[in-house]
Amino acid sequence: MAATSARALELLSLLVARDGWTGSELARRLDVSVRTLRRDIETLRALGYPVAAMKGPEGGYRLAPGTKLPPLQFDDEQAIALAVALQTAPATVSGHTDAAARALTTVKQVMPAHLQAEVDALYLTAIRNYWAFGAPPVEPATLKAVGNAVRASHRLRFDYLTQTGHRPHPADRDFEPPLEVEPHHLVLWAGRWYLVAYQTRDAGWGIYRVDRIHPRSPTGAPFTRRELPAGNVADYVMSSHDRGDTLAPWPCLGTVLIDLPADIVARWAPSGAVVEYLTATSCRFTLGAWSWAGVAGLLATFDADFTILDPPELTHACQQLAIRYHAATGRGPRSEESTIPRR
């Protein structure tokens, strides 16, 4: 009886999720025969849910419009997705931090213990970059493995994919063996997931793109948590130029030498840009946009001197932008103190 009731609830959630299913689709999703499906449909009808039959070659079922539903029911994957969304909501929707926190607490209170553990494993710091663009997706299994290691304070062993997404192989000329780290924090920054971890082999802290992590089997080896290299983990990720970022596939990409520290540029750079440390007061900066004028405009927001390395199209765009600005003001350019905060 318990299995039948659970299956009826799952059937109801499927009917709510889509405006019509064929009988064979529903039977396959529920892993039952078409005959058992018909019995479950009759169970819902007996409970007062108007499940209408649809005509067609295969036939099908749908809920009648205006159906009054029971309290929301979520399967395990939906519950985890909802909890992660609520954790990241403060980073994307202004003014909803408290409401999202209360909603997350409510959802967790009614979760089974094993799901609460998974949600706790995905506790993260969510921070926003106003230049955020699309980022590569992260496999749920990878996020779960990394989150579990962070929560349990267990060493994490993984292959770190190349910038092109290739998994290292011993036959590769530049083969790098799997990394083993002490995972401390998951951070969501500019639409990308990062792991802040201490690497014992190199005796130093590192930031790893989670979409480039390919976990090995869990080690189960505990570690003692260390003091972070910065007082605030979010600030540490935002101001680190060496966080494994790769260039986004923009149609226009330009590179400059800019007279700003790498940590300042990294904090304000668009997602998908790459910042390389050169000196304490300068860095190499590669960024992209849909047009060369867009690249030139983004560079202008840093309000700092820069030298264009390539390509010539960026030089031309900057020249055109300078002419346009000059015409708009009717005056020659003037130098003012930079508005970008320095350290």
Residues comprising the chain, all counted: 343
Considering only CA atoms, give the Rg of the chain. Answer: 26
CB 254 within 8 A of CB 286: yes
Closest by CA position to 249, among listed 161, 162, 134: 134
Do residues 145 and 229 both lie within one domain? yes
Q: In this structure, is residue 104 part of a structural domain? A: yes
Question: Are 161 and 227 found together in one domain?
Answer: yes
Instruction: Indicate whether 183 and 216 sit together in one domain.
Output: yes
- The residue-averaged pLDDT of 149-168 equals 87
pLDDT (tens digit, 9 = 90+) per residue, 119-143?
Answer: 776 766 766 665 655 566 788 888 8
Q: For residue 10, what is the domain's CATH number? A: 1.10.10.10
Report yes or no on 37 lying in a domain. Answer: yes
Tokens representing residue 281 in the block = 């007061």
Establish if 131 belongs to a structural domain: no
pLDDT for position 1: 47
Residue that finishes a domain, picked among 188, 209, 238: 238
Give, to the nearest 10 degrees, the angle between helix 34-46 and helix 2-17: 90
132 domain residue, yes or no: no
Q: Is the pLDDT of residue 24 over 80?
A: yes
Ordered DSSP codes for 288-341: EESSHHHHHHHHHTT-S-EEEEE-HHHHHHHHHHHHHHHHHHSS--------S-
**63-77, 180-194, 277-291, 308-322: least confident range:** 63-77
- Under a CB-based contact definition with an 8 Å cutoff, are residues 208 and 244 in contact? yes
Residue 135 within a domain: no
Residue 95 is predicted with a pLDDT of 52
Specify the residue for token string 């590179």: 255
* Average pLDDT over all residues of the chain: 82
190 shares its domain with 267: no
Largest Cα–Cα distance in the chain? 83
For residue 251, with 0-12 CB atoms within 10 Å meaning exposed, 13-18 middle and 19 or more buried, which class applies?
A: exposed
User: Helix, strand or coil for residue 108?
Assistant: helix
**Residue 285 pLDDT level (bands cut at 50, 70, 90):** very high
Which positions ≥6 away from 294 have C-beta within 8 Å?
252
Together in a domain, 189 and 267:
no
- Check whether residue 232 and residue 172 sit in a common domain: yes
Neighbour order of strands in the sheet with 252-258: 274-279, 282-289, 252-258, 306-310
Q: How much is the pLDDT for 168?
A: 80
| Eight-state DSSP code of residue 210 | G
Structural domain total, the chain = 4
Q: How confident is the model at residue 199 (pLDDT cuts 50, 70, 90)?
A: very high
Q: How far apart are CA 213 and CA 254, in angstroms?
A: 28
pLDDT, residue 88, reads: 64
Within-domain flag for 325: yes
More confident residue, 241 or 125: 241
pTM for the structure as a whole:
0.63
The answer to whether residue 4 scores a pLDDT higher than 70 is no
- Per residue in 70-81, pLDDT (tens digit) is 555 666 677 767
Half-sphere exposure of residue 66, counting CA atoms within 13 Å on the CB side? 0
Strand, coil or helix: 121: helix
Nearest residue to 219 (alpha-carbon basis) of 182, 184, 187, 186: 182
Task: Say which range, 45-49, 163-167, 317-321, 329-333, has the weakest mean pLDDT.
Answer: 329-333
Candidates 81, 161, 159; CA nearest to 122 is 81
Residues 113, 144 within the same domain: no
- The β-bridge relationship of strands 179-189 and 124-127 is parallel
Range of the domain at 311: 252-329
User: Is the model's pLDDT at 66 over the cut of 70?
Assistant: no
Round to whole Å and give the CA distance between 107 and 118: 13
Residue 148 and residue 214 share a domain: yes
Compute how many other C-beta atoms are within 10 angstroms of the C-beta atom of residue 101.
Answer: 14
